[in-house]
Amino acid sequence: MTKQVDASRLRGSIVPLVTPFTVEDEIDQQAVRSLIDWQLASGSHGISVTGTTGEPSALSLGERETMIRLAVEATAGRAPVLAGTGTNNLKETLHLTRVAERSGADAALVIVPYYNRPSQQGLEAYLRRVADSTSLPVVVYNIPGRTAVNLLPETLARIAEASPNVVGVKEAYTDLQQVSDILLTLGRDFLVFSGIEALCFPMLALGGAGHVSATANVLPHEVAHLYNLTQAGHWDEARDLHYRLLPLNEALFLETNPGPVKCVLGWMGKIHPGLRLPLIGPQPAVQRKLAAALKDWAIQAPLPAAAGGA
């Protein structure tokens, strides 16, 4: 029987939410709720949890389940929830995808298995197995810098042809030719989301459906506005905003994501900025660069750009 898949709401700026921790290193559920309310009030078009920015590898399965359920509950239908359910373990991915479906998430974000370095045939078999296990729309997450393998457009096309609920891909790959090849091969209705901050605007210009940008944690209105401007046909204004965002986009990735993002959110008073080892907060030199990049956005850092250690 053909699955009835509704991915109509998956558009625009879908913020990849950080996972805030308390000083006791537990998930700060109140902070999650507050962040979601702030994101939606600021214009974000969707919420994603337990993707890369949400530190999934530092969370237990139970904690990932908690984040998925909490996101659905806190969002309360106001925007779609894209639940990160992928791991490099098939059974765990199937389990989390079932949790997302039962919890009422709108779609599952399934990362290409990391560390295993599978062949294209292995990727096809794995992702088809996950897609066929659920009635949810599935967005594949291709991020070769984290997984050590690139999902090729022809492989994605075979997966989507065999599993029609595979409706899109989050592309965190720097080759825009690959994005063009995906849209050419799978059709312009296939949902391609930018997973690279500097490529949000270029991917929209190619026909992308939106972006899943870590910068939206800090500047939700502006990152959502970038999408809104292109949809309204205001390409010159969107281009200007793209270039205005670039310095902060770069600063937020001077150390491993989400360290700098959490640092800034801590400065803003939104969360306790704690990370779980092996990740640690940004070093003083990076903090100074973050502070400098934030000056254009009226976000005050607790130290001047020239202060601190080397």
Residues that are catalytic: 141, 170
Cα–Cα nearest to 215, from 235, 240, 239, 242: 242
For residues 144-177, one letter each, b for 16 or more C-beta atoms within 10 angstroms of the residue's C-beta and e for the rest, the string is: bebbebbbbbebbbbbbeebebbbbbbbbbeebe
- Give 111's Cβ-side CA count (13 Å radius): 31
Sign of CA dihedral 143, 35, 19, 271: positive
Nearest to 43 by CA among 19, 17, 6, 15: 15
> Which residue, 130, 126, 135, 150, is CA-closest to 104?
135
Torsion of CA 86, 225, 29, 21, to 10 degrees: 70
- Spatial CA neighbour of 289 closest among 306, 269, 266: 306
Distance of CA 88 to the CA centre of its chain: 18
* Cis geometry, peptide bond prior to residue 258 (ω within 30 degrees of 0): yes
Cβ neighbours for 66, distance < 8 A, ≥ 6 positions apart: 27, 29
Cα–Cα nearest to 220, from 297, 111, 105: 297
